[in-house]
Structure 1
Amino acid sequence: MNWKFSPNKSDVNKKKKTKKREWFDAVIFAVIAATLIRVFFIEAYTIPSGSMEKSLLIGDYLFVSKVNYGARIPITPIAFPFAHHSMPVTGTKAYWDGVQWKYRRLPGLSDVKRNDVVVFNLPVGDTVALENQEPSYYNLVRESGWSVVNSQYTITSRPVDKRENIIKRCIGISGDVISMKGGVVSVNGKTEPLKNTGQMPYKIQLKTPDVNFDVFKELGFTVNEMTQIDADTYIANATPEMTDKLKSLDFIKSVDLSVKPETADDGDLFPLDTNRKWNVDNFGPIKIPAKGWRVQLDSHTMPLYYRAIRTYEGNKVEKKGDAWYINDKPATTYTFKMNYYWMMGDNRHNSIDSRYWGFVPEDHIVGKALFIWMSWDKGASFFHKIRWNRLLKGVN
């Protein structure tokens, strides 16, 4: 008996995919896969400024883990792939904020811990002057006035997950009491001196001005950034390890931290309260809000927690006479809905951080910095641009 295969009619009618269609499908699959990896697992990040020196340098390229703290479900789900808040060429919005989801986060491997290096959305990045590089619209308004800023610049608002990404070190977690005196941070009453991953300005006095500054270079100093006070005195950024080695040299007279006195008032620090005369080296104590913590509302606490209650947690906050009203109801206390953190740069005198804009809410946390996969020194010669000693180096 002869059997003859009879093809299915639908098979006969099927058209073979063209090369263009195959390429299109492959590209779509690759974009979807890369987007899922970027959103839920790991993302590349570039260090744009020197606020984290010596631990992280300008030109370091990092991988940031979304898994460690739990990936944040996109709050603004409709967005152009691989763009953050602006399109690369046109500068227009790379997202549509017509759809906004509530803050949710997948389970993570751990909570944010003290001394973690964290990438997060800039808390004061909710309002932006597009043509100005100043990261805080609010600083611009304080400096120039509302009418000037709003007439000279294009002002836009951004949802939480589309605010500028920045990287700092977590100095305090929710519930901690943090302060700083003489340039040294204290957490819950215990001093936490700066580790060798960060730097502070030091006043260096020499016994003689006749010094070979190559010695400073060998110890890690950036000689062209050292400020000369007089013939024998310089101000230079350094780590504790660098200063310990410097003190052992016979031409060094003294090495001391160069910090602001407690009486100095920087004026533009958080919480912008005229009753608090704080500066970058001396502030606090401040209690960092924790989910479920109830704070008493009065003239002392409201400057610290007003923005967290109103802006980050979405409440209507008003003062009528001497009384505070939250969502049109009189309130003497408030219970926080989220955990908060205190972030600071390792390069303590060259960092705009929580000392300027306060607490970082948990819904702003992006991920934990893991390791450097590439480091590029733009100022070096062609054959020395790659910092080979930093490749695949973990972030501590």
Structure 2
Amino acid sequence: MSNDSLKQKIGRFLGLMPLEYAPKNTEKSPKSEFLRVFKDVSTALVMALIVIQFVIQAFKIPSGSMEDSLLVGDFLLGLKYIYGSPIPFTYDKLPGLREPERNDVVIFKFPGDPNYPNNDEKRYIKLINTFVFGVLYWDKEGKSITVHRPKDFIKRCVAKGGDTVEVRDKVLMVNHQEVPEAPMGKHIDSRVMPNAFDPRDTFGPYIVPKKGEVLTLSDARSIREFFWARSLIYQENPTTPMHSVIKLYVNDSLYSEIPYKGALYVKYTNWDWHEMEKQLSLFQQKMPDASVRVAKELYLDGKRITEYTLRYNAFFMMGDNRDNSLDGRYWGFVSKKFVNAKALIIYFSWDSFEPVLSAIRFSRIGKLIF
């Protein structure tokens, strides 16, 4: 064996090949360099999409409904896989580690959001659900493509399927036991509103529906309960055509007929069931001797249904800022199918009312959410 060959082997073994035996540098062609960069960028992009789709959801706090636990301008991350990661191009989910528990801070789809922009099914044609960027619609009037992304809410889960929930003079009761307020929760109004005026301070008791429960849609249900049942059925069947019809009978004669087509209208008519109940109460006061009956009909995929068996558990959500939160007291229950993620950590916080140099709330960055 030659001395040169021995030197090369020892140099390679030690990683210290003598300079005279080191291979000459070869310049990479522009094409190979482009392919390398393209591969690196593509890999990073695919990994980011996987994380966004299955692992993490980013969320910005838009309102004060969770104060002072979460503040307007908080940016947070939630974990999707805890409750089940969404399956791409469907409304289904992979099995999760567990379901929402009482006191979890949960990110979920707003049950009252319509399927179509401006709730106008005649004006818009659904093109494709991108799932990441929202649903693309063709606007027949504007002759353009419109993006409609269902809104996400964040609230605290206070009750789950089978629990009895009630608010008694501002005090939350679950299963007939008083529930302590969140450590940073608050009330901002000392007044107690009567239920006939607003369900904020006096609510229930109601039993949160659970998987396997049969929802009846008879006239015996109140308008409120009918709309809540309708909401859960919609959440379990978001792609199935649905509409409901409310008929008012006075002395057994049809007084009016009001159609409710498309998705749930609660958001756009000031919690429609509440306004309807108030109007009905005023109507009965003006005609105390009349026999008043409200007939309620629900049609799913063109067929009238009088009962429905739930496939998922439901949950009751409330904001920590109890006097300033649009939550389950107004729009009812959230199906497991509409639950997105468990809130985990605040990664950034910005106070838009402060000067730019002092707007960042450094004390909130990295704070875990409980």
Q: Which one-letter code corresponds to 1:178 in the other structure?
A: V
Question: Which residue number corresponds to residue 25 of structure 1?
Answer: 39
Contact map agreement 1:168 1:345 (CA 8 A) in 2: yes
Question: Which residue number corresponds to residue 270 of structure 1?
Answer: none
Contact map agreement 2:60 2:73 (CA 8 A) in 1: yes
Question: Which residue number corresponds to residue 281 of structure 1?
Answer: 201
Q: Following TM superposition, by how much is the alpha carbon of 1:170 offset from its aligned partner in structure 2, in angstroms?
A: 0.9
1:118 lines up with 2:109 in the alignment: no
More displaced 10-residue stretch of structure 1: 52-61 or 285-294: 285-294
Q: Following TM superposition, by how much is the alpha carbon of 1:54 offset from its aligned partner in structure 2, in angstroms?
A: 0.4
More displaced 10-residue stretch of structure 1: 357-366 or 311-320: 311-320
Aligned residues: 269
- Summarize the alignment of residues 235-314 of structure 1 with structure 2, pairs less than 5 Å apart: 258-262=190-194, 264-266=196-198, 279-299=199-219, 300=221, 301-310=225-234, 312-313=236-237, 314=240
* Whole-Å separation in 2 of the counterparts to 1:63 and 1:395: 10
* Whole-Å separation in 2 of the counterparts to 1:331 and 1:122: 24
Contact map agreement 1:129 1:155 (CA 8 A) in 2: no
Q: Following TM superposition, by how much is the alpha carbon of 1:330 offset from its aligned partner in structure 2, in angstroms?
A: 7.3
After superposition, the CA RMSD in angstroms is 3.4
- Which of 155, 166, 171 is the equivalent residue of 2:153? 166
Question: Which residue number corresponds to residue 336 of structure 1?
Answer: 310
Question: Which residue number corresponds to residue 132 of structure 2?
Answer: none
Distance 1:157 1:43, change over 3 A: closer
Question: Which residue number corresponds to residue 134 of structure 2?
Answer: none
Distance 1:386 1:298, change over 3 A: same
Where in structure 1 are there 5+ consecutive unaligned residues?
1-14, 76-100, 131-135, 138-150, 203-257, 267-278
* Whole-Å separation in 1 of the counterparts to 2:245 and 2:65: 37
Q: Following TM superposition, by how much is the alpha carbon of 1:376 offset from its aligned partner in structure 2, in angstroms?
A: 2.0
Q: TM-score, normalised by structure 2?
A: 0.63
Q: Following TM superposition, by how much is the alpha carbon of 1:382 offset from its aligned partner in structure 2, in angstroms?
A: 4.0
* Whole-Å separation in 1 of the counterparts to 2:174 and 2:114: 29
Q: TM-score, normalised by structure 1?
A: 0.59
Q: Which one-letter code corresponds to 2:57 in the other structure?
A: E
Query: Equivalent residue of 1:201, what SS?
Result: coil
Q: Following TM superposition, by how much is the alpha carbon of 1:293 offset from its aligned partner in structure 2, in angstroms?
A: 0.9
Contact map agreement 1:323 1:331 (CA 8 A) in 2: no
Distance 1:302 1:382, change over 3 A: closer
Q: Which one-letter code corresponds to 1:284 in the other structure?
A: G
Q: Which one-letter code corresponds to 1:380 in the other structure?
A: E
Per-residue CA deviations over 1:211-244 (Å, capped at 9, x if unaligned) read xxxxxxxxxxxxxxxxxxxxxxxxxxxxxxxxxx
Q: Following TM superposition, by how much is the alpha carbon of 1:304 offset from its aligned partner in structure 2, in angstroms?
A: 3.3
Q: Following TM superposition, by how much is the alpha carbon of 1:303 offset from its aligned partner in structure 2, in angstroms?
A: 3.9
Q: Which one-letter code corresponds to 1:17 in the other structure?
A: K
Question: Which residue number corresponds to residue 201 of structure 1?
Answer: 188
Q: Radius of gyration: which is bigger?
A: 2
Distance 1:324 1:45, change over 3 A: closer
Where in structure 2 are there 5+ consecutive unaligned residues?
1-28, 121-140, 248-294
Question: Which residue number corresponds to residue 292 of structure 2?
Answer: none
Query: Equivalent residue of 2:113, what SS?
Result: helix
Query: Equivalent residue of 1:36, what SS?
Result: helix
* Whole-Å separation in 1 of the counterparts to 2:336 and 2:61: 22
Q: Which one-letter code corresponds to 1:283 in the other structure?
A: F
* Whole-Å separation in 1 of the counterparts to 2:359 and 2:36: 39
Distance 1:368 1:263, change over 3 A: closer
Q: Following TM superposition, by how much is the alpha carbon of 1:263 offset from its aligned partner in structure 2, in angstroms?
A: 5.3
Contact map agreement 1:323 1:330 (CA 8 A) in 2: no
Q: Which one-letter code corresponds to 1:21 in the other structure?
A: L
* Whole-Å separation in 2 of the counterparts to 1:47 and 1:303: 28
